[in-house]
Amino acid sequence: MQGLHMVGIHHAYGAAKILNNISLTVPAGELVCLLGPSGCGKTTLLRIAAGLEQLQAGSVTIDEVVIAEGPAQLPPEERRIGYMFQDYALFPHLSVLDNVIFGLFRRDRRTARARALVMLDQVGMVPHAEKYPHMLSGGQQQRVALARALAPEPRLVLLDEPFSDLDTNMRARVRQQTLSVLKQNNVATLMVTHDPEEAMFMADRIKVLGDQGRILQSGRPADIYYKPADEYVARLFGPMNMIDGVVEQGGLKSSFGTMALEDSTAAEGSIVRVLIRPEGMILSNGGGDGGAPVDIISAHLLGDTSVVRFKVRNGINSGAEFHMRMSGAFDPTELGQIWARVDLRHAFQYPQNQ
Ligand SMILES: Nc1ncnc2c1ncn2[C@@H]1O[C@H](COP(=O)(O)OP(=O)(O)OP(=O)(O)O)[C@@H](O)[C@H]1O
Ligand SMILES: [Mg+2]
């Protein structure tokens, strides 16, 4: 298989165990995102792939060639890997064009220059080719760093939090451009981020790394969002609502009615916790199936969405507080009695002892 293959990677700094049996595959043309909290070992894993950190256990293969296993470890410069790190690390004393040419030292000056210009064109930076890094905005520097990483036609690109220094608007734009340039070059890309939305946007596949240095879940973005393997993964996407349901005659009873029980071994009368995303609560001014009357606590317009907090009035969850997001503004005073329902696509059941 063309692409990156890491198997059974363990890593420790002294006595501190950081990575615990990590295996992953990034096929050519795909982008895999490692998503995990600060300090969980994301950068360490990229450095091991790049050869900047000595491999301690496991193996690294690129395009079916083993580049690190046991004591046999190819030096970084022979791995044909392009990197882009958070600070871009452009050479301040070189022009934009020379920054991109720098990695093309194996080619003669004329072909190197032509290749560098092709890459600068792909990222829209040809008009800035003669400028120096300090004359560029953050987004422009990022594009130069991307062109430099891709110019030598690497077999693998490693991106470490590549957009974290950009402001919100710039980030959205640069993210889109980066993705299309990577796809155009059909290169295997391993990217790390702690931003779930960024991972969802960029990745063909996401690997969630927990703070024990273990992979907690792997899957397509929709799997991670709609079928989180455990409470930790579910909570990655932001604060969740939580209700306790009671197991009753094989169903799960709460103030929102009875929903299907996923764990068939749960005992009658026991409590099962249900996590519901803010976008999984629906408010309306009518009752109906599964609707619970609620009292609105607050509503805040954030721009295109509003965040509404409310309390359930009756039933076993009475008094429990929830929050939800809805598009547009929300004025509860116009609506009379409000009812809340749960959109089950955004509700997840986990045993309470987790
Ligand atoms: N050279 C080193 N020597 C000792 N400990 C290190 C070294 N590099 C990293 N660590 C520690 O290993 C852990 C993982 O670090 P790493 O940089 O891989 O995390 P990360 O997931 O990239 O975090 P962040 O999201 O903050 O960048 C951290 O606790 C860090 O302090
Ligand atoms: Mg890091």
Q: What is the DSSP string of 219-268?
A: E-HHHHHHS-SSHHHHHTTS--EEEEEEEETTEEEETTEEEE-S-TTPPT
What is the atom index within ligand 1 of the atom nearest the CA of 37?
25
Q: How far, in Å, CA of 343 to CA of 246, rounded?
A: 19
Q: Which residues contact 143 (CB under 8 A, 6 or more apart)?
A: 123, 124, 125, 174, 177
Nearest CA to ligand 1 atom 1: 13
* Ligand lying nearest the CA atom of residue 47: 1
What residue's CA is closest to ligand 1, atom 24?
Answer: 38
CA of 26 to the centre of ligand 2 (A): 19
Domain 3-235 has CATH 3.40.50.300: yes
Across residues 203-232, what is the average pLDDT?
Answer: 93
pLDDT score of 344 more than 70 = yes
In this prediction, residue 144 carries a pLDDT of: 93
The reply to whether 3-235 and 241-351 are identical in fold is no
- Is the pLDDT at 276 greater than 60? The verdict is yes
What tokens were used for 171?
A: 């980030």
CATH (one of 2.40.40.20, 2.40.50.100, 1.10.150.20, 1.10.1740.10) for 241-351: 2.40.50.100
In this prediction, residues 66-86 reach a mean pLDDT of: 90
| Ligand 1 pocket residue status of 87, Cβ below 6 Å | no
Please tell me the predicted confidence (pLDDT) of residue 288.
67
CA 85, distance to chain mean position in Å, is 16
What mean pLDDT, rounded, does the chain reach?
91
Instruction: Report the half-sphere exposure of 353 (CA within 13 A, side-chain side).
Output: 2
Ligand 1 atom 30: residue of nearest CA: 39
Q: Is the pLDDT of residue 266 over 90?
A: no
Predicted confidence at residue 277, as pLDDT, reads 93
43 lines ligand 1 (CB under 6 A): yes
Q: Is 296 in the pocket of ligand 1 (CB under 6 A)?
A: no
CB of residue 18 inside a 6 A radius of ligand 1: yes
Pocket probe mutation, ligand 1, options 42, 208, 214, max atoms within 8 Å of Cβ: 42
Q: Say what the pLDDT of residue 112 is.
A: 94
Beta-ladder partners of 242: 275
pLDDT score recorded for residue 206: 97
Nearest CA to ligand 1 atom 9: 44
For residue 189, pLDDT beyond 90: yes
For the chain, domain boundaries: 3-235, 241-351
Q: Is the CB of 44 under 6 A from ligand 1?
A: yes
CA distance 326 to 306: 5
